[in-house]
Structure 1
């Protein structure tokens, strides 16, 4: 029986147009022997028919819909329908370069004590060019538990890109999925993972992160104001509680 990596993708109306490109990038992935992928698309505030018919027709694709709850809720509902032992994040408007999934799988198979991976990310600009996203990438290799959270706590910016996460499903289940935040739910998950288990930074680019006006990070409340302060407070409380539990385990 094949082993499965589950790709989790929330989508709202502004990003549906980008799904075909994400699908093409998934079809181009070559996985290690004995592995297969499934794609869990969750339409936030819509239904299955919002997804193009040719994508829905693929037996590896499983589409669901829900009343609007935001990206954290949609991600968690998609994960709830998954069957894989690894869970890979893929936003609807992003693209996986060739080899991305294979590197995630091989890293986690070769390092059983590692709970999650992130990787180098390239921003996909509106003109089609690629630019290196970085806040100062760490050296490829292990990320010691608590290292990323310490950086975030002093800057409120993640050192690595949370949109590139691949996670052992058992670890994600312990956390309980994504926090129900209007944004930054991927950062919240990264901080929770970081205080619970060692991670691994993959030096090869494993994500093309599309920049466009309709993305959540373009909203004026994303980087300041009362909502931002509440999001940061929720992320901190969650991570601190998990860190305390795991430091005494």
Structure 2
């Protein structure tokens, strides 16, 4: 693929460029280079006062498939939203800076999106522990198969008891849909809002294939003792209410069209 060709898929990664996580970022890049049967672009979004783009290895920044979208203000939500401004590909996905994508992770979703015309296609996520050499698939509450707009929300009965029934890194989404929905400007849980917006606006499908590896390590934000605080539960409730409202509005619009 030449520099001017449009890639099939964009991957967006917000990062604070913490020195301890730079090796993980390199591993994510390596996993992108190992992708099979798909062309891609990677938009890296350094954010925060200490996120110096100069810390990124030149082996990455010299790759014409990689672009930097650096912003001094902290937070993954604005970083992800701003990065969407620079997407050229018709479909996009999000990956965290400490994770990786298996070799067919992008292609299997992209091929299904092309075959069906669906605006979102997801696959399973697996917890990956490099130290233990283990990979454990998360059997999410959302069933495998097609889902009408708004139906994924029905598999999330209690936002205080669990996160959404689908993870945002599991999704490959039509870029226009991603731009229409965006990530809520929350301190945490902005990805919950994104998921509920995407699956509410359009029909999609969950494939019975692992498309994402979520790294298990001591430095995970979600592993911190105070992660499940009031801000976390407020974000869950915000996303749950968003999903319910979107579903109800879809139903009302359908009735108005019939009337």
> Does TM, scored on the shorter chain, surpass 0.5?
yes
- 2:208 counterpart residue number: 203
Is 1:44 aligned to residue 50 of structure 2?
no
> Under a length normalisation based on structure 2, what TM-score does the superposition of the two structures give?
0.85
CA RMSD of superposed structures (Å): 2.1
- The structural deviation recorded for 1:126 is 4.4
**Is it true that 1:151 corresponds to 2:155 in the alignment?**
yes
**Displacement after TM superposition at 1:22 (Å):** 0.5
- After superposition, residues 107-146 of structure 1 pair within 5 angstroms as 107-112=112-117, 114-136=118-140, 138-146=142-150
2 CA distance for matches of 1:161 and 1:233? 16
- The 1-side partners of 2:109 and 2:134 are apart by 21
Instruction: Quote the residue 1:188 is aligned against.
Output: 193
Cα distance in 1, alignment partners of residues 190 and 144 from structure 2: 25
Query: What's the offset of the Cα at 1:202?
Result: 1.6
Structure 1 stretches of 5 or more lacking a match? none
Rate the CA distance shift 1:67–1:199 in 2: closer, same or farther, 3 A: same
* Equivalent residues of 2:122, 2:170 under 8 A apart: yes
Name the stretch that deviates more: 234-243 or 11-20: 234-243
Unmatched segments (≥5 aa) in structure 2: 254-259
Which structure: larger Rg? 2
1:63 to 59, 68, 79: 68
Q: Which residue does 2:167 correspond to in 1?
A: 161
Map of 1:236 onto structure 2: 240
State how far apart, in whole Å, the 2-side matches of 1:183 and 1:163 are. 15
CA 1:59–1:102: 2 relative to 1, 3 Å? same
- TM-score normalised per structure 1: 0.88
C-alpha displacement of 1:123: 0.9
Distance 1:156 1:137, change over 3 A: closer
Aligned pair in 2 of structure 1 residues 166, 136: CA closer, same or farther (>3 Å)? closer
